[in-house]
Amino acid sequence: MENIRVTSLSQRLHGHLDRFAGARVLVIGDLMLDHYVWGRVQRISPEAPVPVVDVTSESVMLGGAGNVFLNLSALGASVQVCGVVGQDAAGETLLDVLRGHGASVEGIVCEEGRPTTQKTRVVAHQQQVVRFDREFRGGIAPKTRARLLDYIDNHIESVRCVVVSDYAKGVISDDVMKRLMASASRRDVTVMVDPKVPHMAYYRGAHIVTPNHLEASQATGIEIVDDESLRRAGRQLLESLGAQAVLVTRGEHGMSLFEADGAESHIPTVAKQVFDVTGAGDTVIATLAAARAVGADWPDAATLANYAAGYVVGLVGTATVKPDALHRQIDDSLEES
């Protein structure tokens, strides 16, 4: 009987994954440019007790909503992206990187006077020495918001899922979420949110939110110390948001899915080694969206997201997973179970 169950699960997961090329998803949220300065340290500065980094190279990557786009694109989905950049060099670089990955930038608004969110990390000998950020976390201008919402209204009917990637950099607000939810509801489009705790009230009516363990605890005021407190937190979030489901990501403990009909699924981690959890939440919600867009139910979509996360945390740096690698991850894990 167990073999039959595992075989059935394997067939379903592979079937969903084979249909990912038909997934149509819109990503809206905070776009960021991750700038890396790589080097080595061989001496301490005579001016202050700080290391001197001899720079050997620099690189840039997409962060925030941009990384969600990258994950969906790697999975084979058709993705539209909507967000804000500044009229600056970082914004031009971010747009160029998006174009280089085949993205349309029609849904991205350049706001005068607002810096593009950029995080610069200085890394020496695989160790981050310092990070400095250029950003403005205040709300976007009314004209910018209007342009974003017009884009959403005009394009939402062409997708099955909307991912809200909220990093609290100013794009996501109560007004934006209300308008987005109204547009999605009229067209029967699924809305899923990677949340920030201070904005939790904005997400009422979303179909699913994906807080991590700490965010679920902070949002509910429940100290999560065991299965019972986890269950209470999950159920409280479901009720307060009026959601169909809540997926709590729990690091080495896997994920816990709570559904409005009372169903629960506790999915153990499949990660064999954890080198870097950077961007894992982006991978989770991207895979969840792709699976849901091709008809997977919440438990199967969450299981696929868990496999994808297990793959990327085994790689150094922000990473994505392609369908072939995810097929192998599923097979390897189910063979061991």
Residue 335, pLDDT > 50, answer: yes
Task: Give the whole-number percent of the chain exceeding pLDDT 90.
Answer: 83
pTM: 0.92
Q: Does domain 2-32+63-117+136-336 have CATH number 3.40.1160.10?
A: no
pLDDT digits (tens, 9 = 90+) for 233-285: 999 999 999 999 999 999 888 899 999 999 999 998 876 655 445 568 899 99
C-alpha pair distances (Å), 306 with each of 48, 97, 311: 45, 28, 9
Residue of 30, 34, 194, 282 marked catalytic: 282
* Residue 314 confidence (pLDDT): 65
| pLDDT at residue 275, as a whole number | 46
| Residue pLDDT, tens place only, 103-131 | 999 999 999 999 999 999 999 998 889 99
pLDDT of 73 reads 96
Contact residues for 152 (Cβ-Cβ < 8 A; gap 6+): 26, 28, 82, 162, 179, 180, 183
**Residue 63: strand pairing partners:** 32
4 has pLDDT over 60: no
Position 321 confidence tier, pLDDT thresholds 50, 70, 90? confident
In the predicted structure, residue 72 carries a pLDDT above the cut 80: yes
Q: Residue 32: beta bridge partners? A: 63
Distance CA 78, CA 261 (A): 31
Distance CA 79, CA 103 (A): 8
**Per DSSP, what are the bridge partners of residue 165?**
29, 194
For the chain, what percent of residues have pLDDT higher than 70? 93
Write out pLDDT tens, residues 295-307.
999 999 999 999 9
Distance of alpha carbon 97 from the chain centroid? 18
- Compute the average pLDDT of residues 50-79: 95
pLDDT level of residue 317 (50, 70, 90 thresholds): low
Q: Is the pLDDT of residue 204 over 90?
A: yes
Cα separation, 289 vs 210, whole angstroms: 11
- Tell me the per-residue pLDDT of 147-180, one tens digit each, with 9 for 90 and over: 999 999 999 999 999 999 999 999 999 999 999 9
Burial tier of 43 (Cβ tally within 10 Å: 0-12, 13-18, 19+): exposed
CA–CA separation, 260 and 258 (whole Å): 7
pLDDT at residue 316 above 80? no
**Does 282 qualify as catalytic in the annotation?**
yes
pLDDT score for 127: 87
pLDDT at 276: 44
The mean of the pLDDT values for the chain is 92
Burial of 336 (0-12, 13-18, 19+ CB in 10 A): exposed
pLDDT of residue 252: 81
The pLDDT value recorded for residue 142 is 97
